[in-house]
Amino acid sequence: MKDATGALVAIQSARAIAPQHTALLRLELKARQLIGQWDEVDKLLDALTRSNAMEPATIAQLRRMAYAENLRRRAEDDRALLEYWKKVPADFKTDAFVARAAARAFMQRGGADTALDVIEAALNRDWHEDLVTLYGDVRGSSPTRQIEQAEKWLHAQPRDAQLLLTLAHLCSVQELWGKAQSYLEASLAVAPSTEAHIRMAELRTQSGQTGEACQHYQKALALCRAQ
């Protein structure tokens, strides 16, 4: 960090002489990233785009990082978070990496319904299982809405083990034990996982089926050891 700060001072001095020198822009970009000055990174990316000094794919990846980091840094301030989110271009709002950072930031501020909107928009564009998992962790104002939305996705993704597991989790929260068990069984049939076995064991314990619960715990342990 200290070296990056010192380098930045030297780079800025050089840029005062040659403000549009692309090599200096690249060096400053790297220094700003190391220091964590992501607002400045975003501005430098604009300059590098105008000068065609970097590949578009590289620019896009760095913008994803900048938007995500800036969202995380604004998670302590409701107004700053909302204002920044409004400025993020539409294409990046539905990017999985940016959407995940935004959803977590809104969740941190108690904006669960906004987080759900963000995740749903991203999943409706591209399917990402980590966002499916996050969707199940959000406690919105209408749990029924979440279950109904996840069941709509299930029509298009009928053999997605993570989606089935998320549905089981959402149904458990609503104490829809029968549906939760059905979704867990379906998830295990598609792709056995440690989490699904543990959740099934918890359901079996709750219903007094301790023998079956033990079997699922053993299977979960075996999967953990195999990883």
Distance of CA 138 to the CA centre of its chain: 12
Is 100 part of a structural domain of the chain?
no
Is 114 part of a structural domain of the chain?
no
- What's residue 1's pLDDT? 47
Does residue 64 have a pLDDT over 80?
Answer: yes
User: What ranges in the chain are assigned the alpha helix state H?
Assistant: 2-17, 22-35, 38-50, 56-73, 78-87, 90-93, 96-108, 112-125, 129-137, 143-156, 161-173, 177-190, 194-206, 210-226
Is there a contact between 78 and 109 (Cβ–Cβ < 8 Å)?
Answer: yes
Percent residues over pLDDT 70 in the chain: 91
> Which of residues 12, 39, 54 is at a domain's end?
54
Is 143 part of a structural domain of the chain?
no
- CB neighbourhood size of 72 (10 A): 16
Higher pLDDT, 177 or 22: 177
- CB neighbourhood size of 83 (10 A): 11
Q: How many domains does the chain have?
A: 2
Give the number of residues written for the chain. 227
CA-based angle 151:148:157, to the nearest 5?
20
Residue 89: what residue type? Answer: P
Is 103 part of a structural domain of the chain?
no
- What's residue 218's pLDDT? 94
> Which of residues 37, 54, 71 is at a domain's end?
54
- What's residue 33's pLDDT? 84
* Integer Cα distance of 81 and 206 in angstroms: 41
* Integer Cα distance of 212 and 35 in angstroms: 53
- What's residue 181's pLDDT? 95
Q: What is the CATH number of the domain that holds 168?
A: 1.25.40.10
Of 150, 118, 148, nearest to 132 (Cα)? 150
- What's residue 226's pLDDT? 85
* Integer Cα distance of 138 and 107 in angstroms: 7
Is 199 part of a structural domain of the chain?
yes
pLDDT tens figures, 107-135: 998 999 999 999 999 999 999 999 999 99
Is 94 part of a structural domain of the chain?
no
CA-based angle 121:124:128, to the nearest 5?
95
User: DSSP letters of 122-183?
Assistant: HHHHS--HHHHHHHHH---S-HHHHHHHHHHHHHH-TT-HHHHHHHHHHHHHTT-HHHHHHH
> Which of residues 33, 54, 75 is at a domain's end?
54
- What's residue 5's pLDDT? 59
pLDDT tens figures, 65-108: 999 999 999 998 889 999 999 999 999 999 999 999 999 999 99
Is 210 part of a structural domain of the chain?
yes
pLDDT tens figures, 18-44: 455 577 777 878 878 888 788 888 888
Is 131 part of a structural domain of the chain?
no
Of 150, 147, 181, nearest to 163 (Cα)? 150
Structural domain of 225: 163-227
